[in-house]
């Protein structure tokens, strides 16, 4: 089950469509969906989580906590709407496209994709682009 939670005034436009898309990504990647919680927040909220849990005193667009067991996907994906907005402007893409990229990025981590090395980041970007094109 895909759940959407809001810790800021932001609200998704089409929860059902986004939920079906994320569920499809999980299925195509060969995993089973249990519970994935997306928590939309602002920079301050996510910064506190970053400092407290990861000991990183920086702003970020996404933090994901993976509780998956084997092929059963579970986790919490925190997304700063402020960062997504700024990144969309920086990358010259729409807010909605950047938001979908970050959303699929989080669930791809749960499917085993990493982004620490250049090679891993390149594969992650390919997967993101593939699934962004599949969003209908």
The answer to whether the annotation marks 57 as part of a ligand binding site is no
Q: Does the annotation list 82 as a binding residue?
A: no
| Gap between the Cα atoms of 23 and 26, Å rounded | 5
Contacts of 79 (CB under 8 A, 6+ apart): 38, 39, 40, 41, 46, 61, 62, 99, 102, 103, 106
For residue 63, the number of C-alpha atoms closer than 13 Å in the C-beta half-sphere is: 20
130 is in an annotated binding site: no
Binding residues for Zn(2+): 105, 109, 115
């Amino acid at each position: 089950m895909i759940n959407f939670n809001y810790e800021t005034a932001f609200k998704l436009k089409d929860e059902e469509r986004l939920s079906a898309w994320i569920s499809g990504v999980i299925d195509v990647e060969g995993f089973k969906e249990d519970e994935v919680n997306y928590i939309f927040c602002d920079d301050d909220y996510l910064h506190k989580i970053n400092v407290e849990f990861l000991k990183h005193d920086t702003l970020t667009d996404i933090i994901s906590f993976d509780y998956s067991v084997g092929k059963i996907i579970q986790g919490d994906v925190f997304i700063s709407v402020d960062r997504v907005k700024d990144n969309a402007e920086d990358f010259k893409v729409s807010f909605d496209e950047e938001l979908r990229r970050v959303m699929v990025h989080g669930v791809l981590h749960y499917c085993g994709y990493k982004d620490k090395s250049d090679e891993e980041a390149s594969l992650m970007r390919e997967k993101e682009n593939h699934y962004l094109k599949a969003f209908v």
